[in-house]
Each structure stands twice: as C-alpha cells, then as structure tokens.
Amino acid sequence: MSKLIIDDREIEVSPGTKVIEAAAQLGIMIPRFCYHPALGSVGACRVCAVKFIQGPFKGVQMSCMIDAQDGMVVSTTDEDVADFRRHVIEWLMLHHPHDCPVCDEGGHCLLQDMTVSGGHGIRRYLGKKRTYTDQFLGPLLQHEMNRCIHCYRCSRFYQEYSGYRDLGAMQSANRTYFGRFTDGILESPFSGNLSDICPTGVYTDKPSRYFGRRWDYQRSPSLCINCSLGCHTVASIKYREVKRQEARFSEPVNGYFICDRGRYGFFYSSLESRPRMARINGKQCTFNQAQHAMIEKLEEIKKNSGSAAIAAVGSLRSSLETLVMLAQLCQTKRWRDPACFIDSSQVQNVKTAISRLEPQLRVSLRDIERADFILAVGADPINEAPMLALAMRQAQRNGATIVVIDPRPVSLPFPFLYLPAAPMALSAYLGSLIKAVVNRGTADKMGDGARKFYDRIPEGKKLAEAQPPLSSEMLQSLQQSRRPIIVCGTEILSETVLSLSADFALLLQAAEKQAGLFYLMPGANAFAGGILSGEKDSFLQIIEQIEDGSIRALISVEADPFWWFDDRPRLERALDKIDLLVVLDYLDSQAAQRANIFIPTATFYESGGMLINQEGRVQVAPRALLGGIPISQAGGGDHPPRLYDVGIAGFDPKAAWLTLADLANGAAQEDEKALQQHLWKQISDLIPQLATFSSIDEIPQEGIVCSCGVNIDSRFSINWSAASNIRHDSGDDFDLIEVDWTFGTEELSSLSPCLWKLERKPCLVMHSGRAEIIGLTDVDLVEISTETGSLEAELRTADNMAPGILVLPRHRKLAWQIFTPGKIRIRKDQIRKKQ
Amino acid sequence: MLPKELRESLKDHIANIDHPRELAVDVMFTLQDHYGYLSDEAVKEAAELLEMTPLEVDEIATFYTFVYREPVGKYVIHVCDSVICWMDGYESIKDCLCTKLAINVGETTADGLFTLLPVCCIGYCDMSPAMLINRKVYGHLNPEKIDSILEKLKAEA
C-alpha cells in the first residue's frame, strides 16, 4: 500500500493506483477528458494537472500518468495548477462552438462543467473556428464533430476496448477527425457507449434527440432485461415515457458499459400499440370487469373440470415477484405448476446450470476480464449476451487465449481459436481436454467420484473421431493458464455438456488453477424460472395435455408462446381447443390478441422488482415511472386533452404479481404494503441469502449472489457411454439449431424501431461444402418444408462451422415456427432452391 | 482497378512479411504512384491487400503529408513550414509561390501542373528556406530562383 497526502488529506491506496484515482477515493474529482477508468491513462488532454509538492515527482504533472507512491504530497488547488488547467481548457475551447443552448449534451457535458469550474469564462480567441463535415453514423448516434476536443476516448473505446475497426481518428493535429471512412451505420453493437463516454456532444443519443435536458428527465436506476446478464442501466423518463437509457456503473456485472440491444431495447414500453386497457373477447372493458370475468371463468372451469385443468405459463422476462406469485398461485389453487420454459430439455439445462453453479466456481463478468484462458462451449457471446463478448475482449487484450468450440460460425471482435464442433461432439472434446490437462492423481484428490469419472472418460479411438482435433496451442495455453474460465451456453447444448463443463472447472481447481464457470441462460430471469420450475414443467407438456383434453384453461403471464414455440399450427390448434385463454402482458403479443380475457400489466420500468441473472445474482430495480399513456401519444404532439377524470389515462396496468395476488385472494386487494411484505417473506424463504434483509430496499446495489439450487451431489455423475456416442454425420441430413442474433431475435428489443436498421438480413446458414453437394450456393433463396409448413429464407454459406448443422435465427421477420419441438433433423430433400 | 501484375507483386511482397500492416505506407505509395493520388478506391484496395479496414488505412493515409487523398498537380511543391525556414524567410517564399502560381496553399493551378502544400520540416535546414518538388529538394530559395525553377518545370511539362 502507498500512503500519500492529497490536498492535506491522507489516503492509502493499493500499488499501481494513479494519483487521479487516489484523489477520487477521497472524493476529489480532478478534471479529466482523456482519462477514463476503463480506458486507462494516455496523458493527452493535459487537464488533470496537479502539483507535486513532495515526493519522487516535483511540480506540475499529469495525475492520470503517475502512480501514487509513499510520501507524495499533492495539491490539486495550488495556484500554478489552477492556472495551468484554466489555460488548457481555454485551448480546448478555442474551436468549440457556442451551441450549448441547442446541444443535446448541454446540462450533462463534462466540457461544460470543466470550463465553468476551471474558471475559463470569457473567450479571448477571435479567429476563425475550425469546422468539419459531420457523418451519418446510423440510427443510434448523432455526429457533431465541431464540438470535438480531441480526447480520443471514442476511438480508444471503439478500437482498443471493444475491438471494432470502422471508427477511428483520421488526419492529424488540429484537423484530427473522428469518424468512419464513409458515412454509414456503425458496426459495433457497443456504439451507444460513445454517447456516454464522449466528454462533450460529438456523439449524442439520436432517438431521444431534442427531447429534453438531463435535468428534465426522471432518471432512475434500472436493470436490462434483454438478455440474462442483468446489466445496470439508468432509465431516463420524461412525459410518461422511457426516452433514453444509459449505462450505470456496476463493478461485478457490466462495468461502465452496456450493449446497444440493452441501451435501445426499451421502446416496447411506450409503443402506441401497447395495450393499456383490459379486454374481454377482444372488446375493451375496465380492469375490474376483466378481473371479475377472469375469476368467475376460472371458478367455472374448476367446477366443471377440476383445478388440474388450469395451467399457467410464466415468462423469463417477468420479475422474481411475478414468478414467485405465479408459483404460489398455482400451488394454492392446485393448478398445474407453471411452465416458464419451452420444453423439458430447456428446463433441464437451466436447472442443471443452477445446480452446478457452486459458489467457488461461479464467476462474474469482471472475473472474465481477468481470466488468462477462456473456453467458450456452445456459446455465441456477441449474439446471445453481447456484454460477455466485451468482457472476453478485455481478457484477450490482457493476453488470454480464447477458445471457442461451437457448431455455429461464431464471430467475435478479437482473435480466438475456433473449433467447429457438432453439439454431439462437444462432450468428447471436453473429455479429451480433461485428459490432456488433468492427471489421474489430481482427479483422485477430488474423491472417489472424481476418480471414477476420470477413469471412465473414453480413451483414444472414440475421442479421436471428434473432428477437427484440438490443437496443441489450445492444450498448451490451457496447461499454462492460471485463471481459466469455462463459458457455457444453455441453448443448444445437452445437459451433459453443461455438467461436464462444471466437472472440468472443478478438476481445474483441483489442479491448482483459479478456475471459474460462467453459464449463459435463455432469458433475463431464467435463473428464477429454473428455481421455481420442476424438472418436467414445460410449455410443451402443457400443449400435450391440452391435446389430450386434460387442460381446459391457460393463463399466460407476460409470455408469448407465439414468439418462441416451434410449432405454430400446433399451438393454434391447442389454443383453439381450450375453453379459456387469459393473457396478462404489456405487449400486444399474438397471444394477447387471441386472449379471451386480456389484462394489461406494468413493464419492468413501471413495476420495478427483482431479477436473478445467470450468475445467480439477485438484483433490484426500483420503479422508474408510474405508467400511463405518454404525453406525446395522449396529446398527439400537442397539449394532452383536458379531461375531467380521476387518475391518468392509460393507468390501468399494474404489476402482474399484484393481479395474480388478487386472483389468489379472489378479490382486489387494497393493502399493497401487506401484500408486499407477504411476498417478501415468500421470496426470502426461497432464497436463504435474502433472509438477512428485512425488505427489498436493503438489497445492495451490486445484488446478492445466491446459491439456492446448488447440488454438489451432481458432481461427476455424467453417463459417459451416452455422452461419447457421437452420431456419424451421414452427410444426408442436418441438425437444425435455432439461435439468437444480437438484433432481431429477442422479443423486447425487436420492438425498437431504431434497431431495425441494425438487423442483419435473416438467413439460414449452412456449411459451404455441404451446400455445394446439394446444389445450393451462397445467397440462394431456399425453402424448407416440414409436415407443418414451409419456411422461405436466404441461404448463406460459411466455411467456419460444423458441416452437419443448419443454423436458423429466430428472427422476427421469419415465420420459422414450423418444426416439431425437440431435436430437429432436416433431411436434404426437405431443402429446396426457390426460383 | 489495379493492374493484375501490380496487385500480384504487392501480394507477394505482403505475403513475405509477418505483419502486413507494416507495409501500409509502401502499399499506399505504390497505389499513389499508379493512380496519381490515393483515391477512395485505392484506399479500399490497399485495405483489402493489407487485411485492414478502409478506415484503418485512411487513419494512416490522412496522417501523412506525402500521401495525397485528393488529386494533385503534376508537380507537388512541398514548401517547408518549420522553425528554421521561418527564420530564413518562409513567409516571403510562400507568398512568392502563391503569387507566381496564382493559387493558395493547398490548391492546384488551373492547368493542373502545380500543387502547393506546406510541410513541417523536410530535414534540409542547412539549405533553408527549402522546398521539395516531386521528392527533389531545392534550397536557399529566393524569388529569382523560384522563377527559374518553375519556368524550367513548365518547359519540361
């Protein structure tokens, strides 16, 4: 530790801490433009100057460039440095336009703050200002280069930090220009962060342009529900709508940044098409009417067909409150247990992941940045959880080797070693990796189970058949690594691979490595869904039971099976068959449109609540706004109508769990506080780690990592003979895998108009060699026919993928729901070129 | 489009080096010699050859004074605009060139013969004030000397 004095106050900091950071720990904000904790120091802007009075350095120096050391005495307020900084700011302001009153950054502009606080009040420069031509950078960011002060934060973030290569610094000196080679949409799915890190208004948020100053917004901490990582955001609300979202710092989760899917994925919450009124058989009615009708109808069905004829579907985008209340409702009413997952393999995968996330194994996104070896198995970070890719990029920049074993053509913004492996071959690869880096003695240390597990790893021949083989580079860097992490997706793998990854991580720990395990999950609250679901609770099971007549009523809570169920005609037939479909949602989903009774619910912004991310971290977001129809819609661009009415128009929706509580109690409940307390009790019973808190408000900002569901008995229990049974790729048919893309496949962000232009054209992806054999080429229009229907899409071919695989994005523009749920095999004669 | 032989020779050259990026400037000069300046098309071709993005090539191209991203005249005059030449009368040399060519710094004469560009130090401080024309240095400049140089070049053109 180094002890130093800054502005007459002593502070002790860890070695390697820069003086600017040491001061920050004392609450002293030294001015900065180029310095950013995530980007590090470059000493370019010269505005963080301080005076070193005693110690190894003397005089005016840049505080971002010097490590805090013992015996330093530093002044940030000395007359010399204040004068120095005032002059630096004056230089930086030479060409800066006087457009603060019309600039969107005005009010939260670092340059504005520094100019005022630095004491540069009157402009002395009378010459002609340098001007630039701005570029079109896509629908998310507005470019205004004249405001630039050349701090290089944008190009450093864009190229060095996130690894994209289409925005940078051109020209030199006073003419330096930050932009692209030509106008065009920025390629990085992290581009929105430029508006956060630019210290002035060169990049401003385009969708919320000219809508308000920062102080006009109600700014509220929130959480992202567009993937399972649970990144922290700040929601900015004005005139009853979420208008902008920014990254909120979180040490263990997202750091300083968020991805564009999360940043711009909020538009669903204030769409004009969002249903604000309850409906009975498509006709609008009051909230109470719908609620009465729902209670009545359900009673009727219970009387005629028994409680077990009622089933409920939960959703992975619902809050923990809603999921817990739904589970409780089903229990007290003796309905079927709610299903949150599509089929049994999905629920089993998530449950396996939860049971294997032992406290000593699980790691956060921050730990991933510090890893020196990352093995990603069946995970496509940039498409499934973009911020994971950004964390892996940091590890790679620090010298980590990244190995990706996946059937898909994975692309990442950094170099990595890639093995195109069929999902069936993944356990074989993991087996040979274990054999290569862990010896029997190490396995023995973990006990009998581990030794037997190790001994049963099939030797030689079978593993050798896994093609292509592991390279010596992969093995060597894993052997030499100190902090290896295994990243594992839960979407396209079998639970065996998930288990095996955890066993592998355990063995690596036994081999004295600080190994970690990181799972991705299929939704924002999949972890909670997994805890609350039984092994067999799946939507497919509900469909089967509707088909055999045992289920007569379905309640769908914030879930739209039309979005994710594989077989659309079968779903429609099933829904036609039941007596009652109740839908609670904030989206105008297809299920909502078909509902006999529809009850609007509040979005996560309007209800707040808890989410459990894929790491098991229970996080809380407060309510960010009350709700109601946005003024822009109520007033049609003008002042909203003056209605003599109580309440706010469109204020009907309430949190889904409240409606469910009413349903559980048979009538509308008045005392929301009491309900909340009751629910909190339920939740803290479910998650023991929460028992130390008396209410939701006490949960710390970085959340509480829970380990409910962990089962150490499931260690080393996989069945090798089944796992190593590699199906030989006959070359005649394909395993279809349905995948996520960064944009266009996720339910909520697909409703953001500004993201539509960023979507890639939906396409099927096939190995180029295989395509050639069946007479198809790149960009052919193809048709896939099944018993259920047909799907038309463009075919793209790729060399870097497993040959026996056909990749299908669940894209909003494709009517892809024509398959039988479960493992989908497509024969080559089912694929045909369209003329 | 780049002629096939030129493209192949550049490819060979690049294939023999560990980090293609190291050859960025050489490739840009080759393309510039071919096209007369580094056009947008040339930037894209260079990017493709070097496995860089057009932006990355452009970052380097626009940094260097001797890579021309716009069409230039037959003779490119780089008049030295640095400390020693300032002391030895850069201003009057620059003015003299501007008057004689009837252009401003950064412009090309109407007949397409001369482009006048300032450059920060060409390393001929011993001959200051100095300038480069098509990579040939002219030192100890004065108006008469400039006259004769320009006349000679015009005659040769």
Please tell me whether residues B94 and B149 are part of one structural domain: yes
Over 80: is that where the pLDDT of A181 sits?
yes
What CATH number is attached to the domain comprising B24? 1.10.10
**Residue B70 included in any domain:** no
DSSP-derived 3-state class of residue A230: coil
**Residue of A531, A629, A630 whose CA lies nearest to A327:** A531
* C-alpha distance from A397 to closest chain B C-alpha (Å): 18
- pLDDT tens-digit profile of A507-518? 999 999 999 999
Confidence band (pLDDT; 50, 70, 90) for A724?
low
Q: What angle do CA B66, B72, B74 make, to 5 degrees?
A: 100
Q: Please provide the CATH number assigned to the domain covering A347-521.
A: 3.40.228.10
Please tell me whether residues B47 and B81 are part of one structural domain: no
Give the C-alpha separation, A77 to A7, whole Å.
Answer: 7
- pLDDT tens-digit profile of B86-97? 999 888 999 999
Over 60: is that where the pLDDT of B119 sits?
yes
Over 80: is that where the pLDDT of A681 sits?
yes
Please tell me whether residues B104 and B152 are part of one structural domain: yes
What CATH number is attached to the domain comprising B92? 3.40.30.10
Confidence band (pLDDT; 50, 70, 90) for A330?
very high
Please tell me whether residues B93 and B47 are part of one structural domain: no
Mean pLDDT score of chain A = 93
Q: What angle do CA A478, A479, A484 make, to 5 degrees?
A: 45
Confidence band (pLDDT; 50, 70, 90) for A766?
very high
Cis preceding linkage at B3, omega within 30: no
**Residue B83 included in any domain:** yes
Q: Does domain A728-833 have CATH number 3.40.50.10610?
A: no
Asked whether the beta carbons of residue A170 and residue B59 sit closer than 8 angstroms, the reply is yes
What's the average model confidence in pLDDT over A794-804? 93
Please tell me whether residues B49 and B83 are part of one structural domain: no
Residues of B with Cβ-Cβ distance to A167 under 8 angstroms: 55
Q: Could you say which of A165, A171, A177 has the minimum Cβ distance to residue B56?
A: A165
- DSSP 8-state class, residue A373: E
Please tell me whether residues B106 and B144 are part of one structural domain: yes
Please say whether the beta carbons of A253 and A230 come within 8 A.
Answer: yes
| Chain B residue with Cα closest to A182 | B55
Instruction: Calculate the alpha carbon distances from A226 to A236, A390, A521, A596, A748 in Å.
Output: 17, 16, 12, 28, 7
Q: Does B111 touch chain A (CB under 8 A)?
A: no
Residues of A with Cβ-Cβ distance to B58 under 8 angstroms: 170, 181
Confidence band (pLDDT; 50, 70, 90) for A667?
confident
Asked whether the beta carbons of residue A172 and residue B63 sit closer than 8 angstroms, the reply is yes
Domain spans, chain A: 2-93, 124-270, 347-521, 728-833
- Looking at residue A645, its pLDDT comes to 76
**Residue B66 included in any domain:** no
Asked whether the beta carbons of residue A165 and residue B59 sit closer than 8 angstroms, the reply is no
Over 70: is that where the pLDDT of A384 sits?
yes
The answer for A 156-215 residues in CB contact with B (under 8 A) is 165-172, 177, 180-182
**What b/e readout covers A327-343, taking b as 16+ CB neighbours within 10 angstroms?**
bbbbeebebbbbbbbbb
What's the average model confidence in pLDDT over A737-758? 96
Q: Please provide the CATH number assigned to the domain covering A2-93.
A: 3.10.20.740
Asked whether the beta carbons of residue B56 and residue A171 sit closer than 8 angstroms, the reply is no
Q: Does B107 touch chain A (CB under 8 A)?
A: no
Q: Could you say which of B55, B56, B63 has the minimum Cβ distance to residue A171?
A: B63
**Residue B90 included in any domain:** yes
Q: Which residues pair with B131 in a beta bridge?
A: B79, B138
- Looking at residue A248, its pLDDT comes to 97
- DSSP 8-state class, residue A459: P
Residues of B with Cβ-Cβ distance to A181 under 8 angstroms: 43, 53-55, 58
- pLDDT tens-digit profile of A331-380? 999 999 999 999 999 999 999 999 999 999 999 999 999 999 999 999 99
- Looking at residue A648, its pLDDT comes to 78
Give the C-alpha separation, A11 to A1, whole Å.
Answer: 10
**Residue of B42, B56, B130, B43 whose CA lies nearest to B86:** B130
Domain limits for position B84: 75-156
- Percent of chain B scoring above 70 in pLDDT: 100
Please tell me whether residues B86 and B148 are part of one structural domain: yes
Please tell me whether residues B121 and B145 are part of one structural domain: yes
Taking residue A594's Cβ as centre, other Cβ atoms within 10 Å add up to: 17
Residues of A with Cβ-Cβ distance to B105 under 8 angstroms: none
Domain total of chain B: 2
Please tell me whether residues B28 and B50 are part of one structural domain: yes
- Percent of chain A scoring above 90 in pLDDT: 85
Q: Taking the CA atoms of chain A, what radius of gyration do you get in angstroms?
A: 28
Residues of A with Cβ-Cβ distance to B59 under 8 angstroms: 168-170
Please say whether the beta carbons of A437 and A479 come within 8 A.
Answer: yes
Helices (H), ranges, A260-307: 260-263, 287-305
Q: Cα torsion for A623, A624, A625, A627, to the nearest 10°?
A: -60
Over 70: is that where the pLDDT of A725 sits?
no
Q: Does A133 touch chain B (CB under 8 A)?
A: no
Please tell me whether residues B11 and B46 are part of one structural domain: yes
Residues of A with Cβ-Cβ distance to B50 under 8 angstroms: none
Q: Could you say which of B40, B43, B53 has the minimum Cβ distance to residue A166?
A: B53
Give the C-alpha separation, A22 to A12, whole Å.
Answer: 8
Biggest CA–CA distance in chain B, Å, is 50
Give the C-alpha separation, B48 to B52, whole Å.
Answer: 6
* C-alpha distance from B114 to closest chain A C-alpha (Å): 23
Interface A–B counts its CB contacts (< 8 A) at: 29
